[in-house]
Structure 1
Amino acid sequence: MNHTLTFGGLCLTLLPLLAAQANDAELNPVTVTGTRAPTDLSQAPLIIDIIDRDDAVLATASRVEDVLSRQPGLHVAGQGRRNGQTLSMRGFGSKGVLVRLDGVRQDISTGHIGNFFLDPGLIQEVQIARGALSSLYGSNAMGGVVSFTSVNANDLLAPGEDSGVRLSVGGATASDEMRGSLTAFGRRDTANGQVDGLFSIGRSESGDIRRAGGDEAEEDATLNSLLLKGGWEPSDDQRVFMSWQHYDERATQPANPQQLSTDASNPLRDRDVVSNNVQLGHRWQPSAATEVTSQLTFSQQDIDEPLANRTLERAGLQSDGYHTIDHGWLSQTLVFGAELEQARQRPDGEANGFPKADIDTQAAYLDTTLTAGSYLKNGGAGQFDVGLGARYDRYDASGQNGADSVHDQVSPRFRLAWRPDDALMLFSGYAEAFRAPSLSELYANERHFAGFCAGPAFCTPDNYWIPNPNLSPESSHTWESGVVWHQGDWQVRASYFDTRADDFIDTHVDIMAGTTQAVNVQRAQLWGYDARVTWQPNAFPLLTSFAGLSEVSGKDRDSGEPLGSQTPLEATLGSEVALYNSDIRLGWQARFAQSFDKQGDDDRLPGYGLHDVHLAWQLTPAVDTSLRLANVGDKVWYRPDGSLGDGRSLFATLNWQW
């Protein structure tokens, strides 16, 4: 398929919408991951999706797969097990997509274990920002950033109430899961300012996970979670806050949780995964135009299984802020920040591919957006935004053999936007991004796998990792252009991107030499598009419909061979209607994909069409429930990496708050 023509056809499809005449829709500013500042989404030059607790997908979820699996252009690899979930987006795998939990980086790298150690029941909002964002977030943000924000007291307090208790129970049929949580929260005005707090404990138990078509991924898992948050506001412009998020899953699952079946090469084993994220911070907001947030953070991920234990500890200090200046004919928004961080890996026993190593990171960034001009209807040439930004990162890594790896990286970004009126924006921009090598890629030196004999005269030696402290960071250069339009009943966002990536880090295995080493080998080109359309008719404001479209292609720039975490042409459609004073919400969502080539293989995987339906019902002021039936037809479908998708499952949540 000619992808440029496909995107051109998409734009032609949207042109009639741009010609429509209707009243302007009112859009409120929201703090956007891709800008780090409160931004009206009609002025954000990127594709971003936001999922909050009112969405049935998040309200009923127990795994990250449940939350993200219907997002166009985004795939969650694995077989439904929490420990095997990894992301791919915009042509980059899990190491090229940054995951953040309450602002703390989540990127433990060990074997086939994922990096989503969180309970969706504690999450208030998920933001998915697509594109090269290293100029704001540093390493790993090559394909985008996925940010999870945990719930706080103000999110749950009923109008006019200062305290409450919330009991939630739920489950999912595909995993025979039952879960429950108890949350207490409140706020109080004191002589020294307002204080608020939240305490939540949760537990779930689940069994084998049913995949599409009826296959099962063996597992027996128990998850215990805890969230403790509090804040003190000594004055209107200051807030001191703290939080502790604890996750503890004990599971009997395969050694490689990303594989469906278990056999002699992938036996069942007991695995205990514990994650802790702790924060202590201060927010200063003297006006709506200025905010500075500083925080001390500590995170620890500990993976314990027979004869092997892996611990990653990360301590950091970061400060981020924004400031808006009005110069009269010119307005300016500054976004700035600095970070210091130390990460330490500590293996024990026969932990494979997880060497004893440290990495220290220092970073600073500055981004400015200048806005000037007046709309065409006022006699001007339109309103223009010019954005310039850059981030400097330096990392110092050291391994147990004394070999150091020291690199620094500057990630610039430039963007230009033009708004002829307040309903339409055209934008284009250039950004560079990078991914620093993981400590495992730099310093792993233990046995990778045992030798084997394929016949009486052909045997291979044991295979050992060879350190490579000379690895260069992966880097990318991206151009992206798009349109944002909103008027009356319609909102449209669409963009096309072209990325040139260098120094991909690959794993080279030499069977006969008995070695495995991470090396820089590939030069890639990745290109594709994203589009979103939302329709909320003024004549029937209780109805909302949406559509999403995405495709990512990639090739090796030297050989022309397919490359990268490609995704087929995918479309997402959905609609929701509110009834009985919005006490009942009924909805449908579908995802369609063309047939596509399996990554790294000549096999062609079939296209698919998936349908979900959901119901949210406010039974009484104190009781509400959410139901979602996913993959109604139990369609057999595959992700681009060839892993089997999720099967039919009924998700249910019942909440009682008093």
Structure 2
Amino acid sequence: MKPTHSIATVMAWSLPILATQAGADATPETSAAALDNVTVTGTRLPGDPSRAPLILDVIDRDDPALSTASSIEDVLSRQPGLHVAGSGRRNGQTLSLRGFDSNGVQVRLDGVRQDINTGHLGTFYIDPWLIREVQIARGALSSLYGSNAMGGVVSFETVEASDLLLPGERGGMRLSLGGATGRDELGGAFSAFGEQDTANGPVDGLVSVGRRDSGDIRRAGGQEAPEDAELDSLLLKGGWRPDDENRLFAQWQRYDETSTQPANPQQLDVEDDPRRRQVTSDNVQLGHRWRPAAASEVTSRLSLSRQEIDEDDANRTLERWGLQSDGYHRIEHGWLTQTLAFGAEVDRASQRPGGGASGFPHADIDTQALYLEDTLTVGRHLSEGGVGVFDLGLGARYDRYDAEDAAGRETEETQLSPRLRLSWRPVRGLMFYSGYAEAFRAPSLSELYADQRHFAGFCPAPGFCFPDNHWVPNPDLQPETSRTWESGVAWERGDWALRASYFDTRADDFIDSDVDIAAGTTQAINVNRARLWGFDARLAWEPADWPELRAFAGLSEVSGKDRDSGEPLGSETPLEATLGADLDLLDQALTLGWRGRFANSYERPDGEGTLPGYGLHDLQLAWQVTPALNTSLRLSNLGDKVWYRPSGALGDGRSLFASINLQW
């Protein structure tokens, strides 16, 4: 590959200098007011996720949907407007959001992207035992996250020692047991964790190991997806804080699943001989977090992400080395507040096929990126004699990628992703916002360079046969791009809170596969111009007179069409509502909950008729038996309703999920 030179490499090391200068300009008032430590995925700034100018959903480790989950489908399957495709097999699960499939939604694990692209296999290689929090940020976010963030970003964070320590404790151990009837699964995890003060500063650490054994997967109506799987997981984390400003950290997360399943894990039935497949994923990080002031932070990390899919006759490996540095700083200028989010990334991803691997070429891609977003805040609320508080956000990200395969075919592209947003807060608890953003998806190495056999030829009639079908490389493939306008409102008053937004996206150069049966070729090409539009809304009620009760509702819809032909296009989502309520009993030790998801009927994606609407009901229970013992139960799809994802895949069936945790 040709050597590349980019200012991103220099910027990766110069960001701490920028933060140092900004820290010197901060006023004492800014330094005294610490920012919230929760980083909001949609802004890359600390703050309250419920007040961010976008639709953001957060799932924490106390939610039974996460604490009892055996796969990522169990975690995400009831989120409004988000759908997980496949037949329940962990390594065949992909998602769609805001009209984009998994290629247009970026998945991140502890701050590092996860994006192996190989046929019908998914990108979720993490055991739910290890997850602390999930943030689902909707909207065009390439200005902060680069390629693939066209429909949004789904960010997973793994558990820390501080998440498990009980008040007043410095160390502990935790045993978790769980299972799910819908996949005939039993499993367990053991964790040891602690914090310790030393002469050189406090240190903390965590080690967690898990095991799951599962069988055939029950889908809606009692149909089964045959499988025999064993999953082993590992998480090692540690940190050292030599002083109040600095923290060094390191971690290793491993996922190792061996399964017997169809060649295509997304299909329901086994149409050929089952395949023995081993999927391993390792994510390693070394990092440094620098916080020179309460309103400043820079986090830098060196990461290695490696996924390997090993079968009897084929092997696929993706290895990604990355260096990234991200930070924020807030400056008070008296009447004006300025908040900066900035960062730089450099990485190299390498694909290495083995055996008879098809559609996974030997190729490398280098990426360099810079981003900067500046939010200016000015004004006073109407009650204080002003005309409201205004936030103006201006930002952009520059990405460059250079790809080359083993045959010397090269691809070089640059992409600028700007974002503009404006919000107005006339009074406390009310915000109107609107914005424009551009986003993109770079072609995968497989789409650029695949040249192996796609599928074998066949003879539909005696003496009439089609040849073997082969991939044809397309190094000139252009990235998908989009332009999105989104406007919304956020309102809080008394017991009620509302968030709602409407978006309109114009997308160009969709990447599709052109299959010519007669010629025996398949090639990735740029095709349709699309329009995607829809809305998201969230309503929450927490009555002060009944603090034991909480209720919420979500509503979403996504429509899409080809701007040239007018035909439906994109991963559409029917009008669907998500409802839920929780009731605390026994001084909040016991929580009973109900979740419902309801959808209208909608046209099949292949145009062959209509898929029926549905209504799904889940019941859940969380019980803190003692400070050291808790349990969660969730009964999913109570009525065993037959229902289908927008992709046409059969949804999950009735299943009882259970977990019990003992800590000492």
TM-score normalised according to structure 2 size: 0.94
Select the residue among 152, 167, 192 that pairs with 2:160.
Answer: 152
Q: CA deviation at 1:41?
A: 3.5
Aligned to 2:88: 80
Contact 2:96 2:571 in 1 (8 A): yes
Decide which of 122, 146, 149 is 1:141's aligned counterpart.
149
Match of 2:285 in 1: 279
Q: Distance in 2 between matches of 1:97 and 1:446?
A: 27
Question: Residue 469 in 1 paired to residue 475 in 2?
Answer: yes
What residue in structure 1 maps to residue 558 of structure 2?
Answer: 552
Query: Equivalents in 1 of 2:423, 2:119: separation in Å?
Result: 43
Which whole-Å CA distance do the structure 2 matches of 1:471 and 1:431 have between them?
23
Contact 1:230 1:242 in 2 (8 A): yes
Structure 2 Cα separation of the partners of residues 167 and 311 of structure 1: 33
- SS of residue matched to 2:182: coil
For the residue of structure 2 that corresponds to 1:539, the secondary structure is coil
Structure 2 counterpart SS, 1:67:
helix
CA deviation after TM superposition for structure 1 residue 29, in Å? 7.1
Give 1:619 deviation, angstroms: 1.1
Give yes or no for the alignment of 1:37 onto 2:53: no
CA distance in 1, matches of 2:485, 2:624: 46
Within the candidate set 387, 393, 396, 2:393 is matched to 387
Match for residue 432 of structure 1? Answer: 438
1:199 equivalenced with 2:207 (yes/no): yes
The alignment partner of 1:522 has SS state of coil
Q: Is the 8 A contact 1:297 1:316 kept in 2?
A: yes
1:196–1:232 contact (8 Å) kept in structure 2: yes
Instruction: Please report how far the alpha carbon of residue 600 of structure 1 lies from its aligned counterpart in structure 2 after TM superposition.
Output: 2.6
- Shift of the alpha carbon at 1:643? 0.3
Maintained 8 Å contact 2:622/2:632 = yes
Alignment partners' CA distance in 2, 1:630 and 1:167: 24
Work out the percentage of aligned pairs sharing the same amino acid. 70
Query: How far off is 1:45 after superposition?
Result: 1.0
AA in 2 matched with 1:192: N
- Structure 2 counterparts to residues 356-395 of structure 1, below 5 A: 356-395=362-401
2:353 is equivalent to residue 351 of structure 1:
no
In the alignment, the residues of structure 2 paired with residue 316 and residue 82 of structure 1 have an alpha-carbon distance, to the nearest angstrom, of 26
Q: Matches of 1:72 and 1:42 in 2, distance apart?
A: 16
Deviation, structure 1 residue 499: 0.1
| Residue type of the alignment partner of 2:304 | F
Is 1:111 paired with 2:132? no
- Alpha-carbon contact 2:36-2:46 (below 8 Å) kept: no
Amino acid in structure 2 at the alignment position of 1:242:
A
| Deviates most, 449-458 or 478-487 | 449-458
Choose from 628, 632, 654 the match for 1:626.
632
Distance 1:46 1:55 in 2: 22
The 3-state SS of whatever aligns with 2:510 is strand
Within the candidate set 492, 496, 517, 2:523 is matched to 517
Question: Unpaired runs of 5+ in structure 1?
Answer: 1-26
Q: What letter corresponds to residue 95 of structure 1 in structure 2?
A: N
Give the structure 1 partner of residue 575 of structure 2: 569
Distance in 2 between residues matched to 1:43 and 1:29, nearest whole Å: 14
Other structure's SS at 2:162 match: helix
Matches within 5 A, 1:568-587: 568-587=574-593
Instruction: Pick one of 204, 211, 220 that aligns with 1:212.
Output: 220
User: Which amino acid is the alignment partner of residue 151 of structure 1?
Assistant: V
Confirm or deny that 1:164 pairs with 2:172: yes
**2:508 aligned to 498, 502, 513, which one?**
502
Does structure 2 retain, via aligned residues, the 8 Å contact 1:42–1:425?
no
Note if contact 1:42-1:486 (Cα within 8 Å) is conserved in structure 2: no
Q: Which amino acid aligns with 1:239?
A: R
- Aligned position for 2:131: 123
Which residue of 51, 55, 65 corresponds with 2:59?
A: 51
1:243 matched to 2:257: no
* Partner residue of 1:68 out of 73, 76, 98: 76
Checking the alignment, whether the CA contact within 8 Å between 2:184 and 2:214 is kept in structure 1 is yes
| Structure-2 separation of matches of 1:269 and 1:559 | 41
RMSD, aligned CA: 0.9
Q: Are 1:100 and 2:111 an aligned pair?
A: no
Contact 1:42 1:485 in 2 (8 A): no
Between the aligned partners of 1:242 and 1:231, the Cα distance in structure 2 is 6
Q: TM-score, normalised by structure 1?
A: 0.95
> Which residue matches 1:222?
230
Out of 399, 412, 416, the residue aligned to residue 405 of structure 2 is 399
- Does the 8 Å contact 1:247/1:275 carry over to 2? yes
* Residues 1-29 of structure 1: CA deviation (Å, up to 9, x unaligned): xxxxxxxxxxxxxxxxxxxxxxxxxx977
The SS at the match of 2:587 is coil
Partner-residue secondary structure (3-state), 1:190: coil
The count of residues paired between Structure 1 and Structure 2 equals: 630
Partner Cα distance (2:406, 2:640) in 1: 50
Task: Specify the alignment match of 1:322 in structure 2.
Answer: 328
